Chain A
Amino acid sequence: MAILEILKLPDPRLKQVSAPVERFDDELRAFIADLEDTRRDGPAAVGIAAPQVGRFQRIVIVDVSGRPKTPNHGYLVLVNPEIVHWEGYAIGREGCLSVPDYTGNVIRATSLRLKTRDPDGREHEFAMEGYEARAVQHELDHLDGLLFVDRVVSRRTDLYRRKVYKI
């Protein structure tokens, strides 16, 4: 068990695009265990991405199961994840372990379908919505060198005044 150091803005490494994982071995799984320890060590983060601790590979952890009344798939380790379908949009407030003392409003898809591998290299597909879908989008952005501050929308944005209906 190890708590890894979290890179914080304005560290330019956070802007780096991460590479796919090619070797699904014990070293990878040991790193994922450390990444999860790091996620749990700080403020109540529902996700963490490998580049946040300086490992520039396409690995994220998402777990929104601790939040009441939230549809979820439990503790998820996503390796080389890819969103293959998006739907809807909503504004929500986000913060980030890499951006202390700031929260902002971000537009995200309300539901998505995801193809991914697990830490053993097996393929999976998930359909998710709401808070869990938001968390996945936030974490996957890290893999492409994007932070939520790159997506913050104005307080006055007119999306506030519209209700989003599911089709």
Chain B
Amino acid sequence: MSDWNMLTLVGADRPGIVSRVTRALYEVGCHLGEASMIRLGGNFTIMLMVRGERSGQEILDALTPVSDELGLRAHLDPVHGGLHQHLVPNFQVRVTGADRAGIVAEVTGILASHGFNIQELESDVAGDRERPIYIMNIQGFCGETLETLESALSPLVEQGVSVDVSPVDLLIG
């Protein structure tokens, strides 16, 4: 049984959002867990683990003044799990190619068929409007070998997509 909630906030980006949101959460007695904030296409986005005595509705109510003022949309879900459940990735997959529909589905479809569990994925569109370049970076865990993953992804390489798989070497010192 977990008492965590996953709070998602999306809106136009501007300085000070994290500060205002976390201040409001602190003032209603919330504790924060793991969080991931990133700017996507000029938008502010955050997913944030939140825990406290208050109900989900009370948390959202406490955020309303801030989210109304800053134009944020808020969403809250109770979640299972909690802190201290990190998995360490053992592979990194970098993908670069001319942007076209389907790249992500093709790459991740191949990875999924080998039991690859994606733990982090970031993607971006670089280049310019005429010649957009899709760049994706995946980290995750897979029980198969580097060579197996490379050969599974090789059909994409033949189509002109650059796919590089490398081991993530964890060092404990």
Contacts and interface: CB of A to CB of B under 8 A. Distances in A.
Given A161-B94, A161-B135, A93 B168 contact: yes
A146 interface: no
Contacts of A48: 173
Interface in A88-114: 92-97, 101-103
A103 B94 CA distance: 20
A: contact size bracket: 20 to 34
B172 A46 contact: yes
Interface in B157-173: 168-173
A32 B139 CA distance: 37
A137 B170 CA distance: 14
Interface string B98-128: 0000000000000000000000101000000
A49 B172 CA distance: 12
B86 A101 contact: yes
Interface in B15-65: 38
Contacts, number: 60
Given A160-B137, A161-B135, A138 B171 contact: yes
A28 interface: no
Interface string B74-90: 00000000001010110
A8 to B, nearest CB: 14
Contacts of A131: 169, 171
Nearest to B168: A93
A155 interface: yes
B135 A103 contact: no
B94 A160 contact: yes
B84 A101 contact: yes
B96 interface: yes
B172 A134 contact: no
Given A45-B173, A94-B170, A103 B88 contact: yes
A46 B84 contact: no
Nearest to B90: A93
Give the 7 A-B CB pairs with smallest separation, nearest first: A47-B173, A138-B173, A95-B172, A45-B172, A94-B171, A93-B170, A101-B84
Interface of B: 38, 84, 86, 88-89, 92, 94, 96, 120, 122, 135, 137, 168-173
Given A93-B169, A148-B173, A160-B94, 7 more contacts: A62-B173, A92-B169, A95-B171, A96-B172, A103-B88, A131-B171, A155-B120
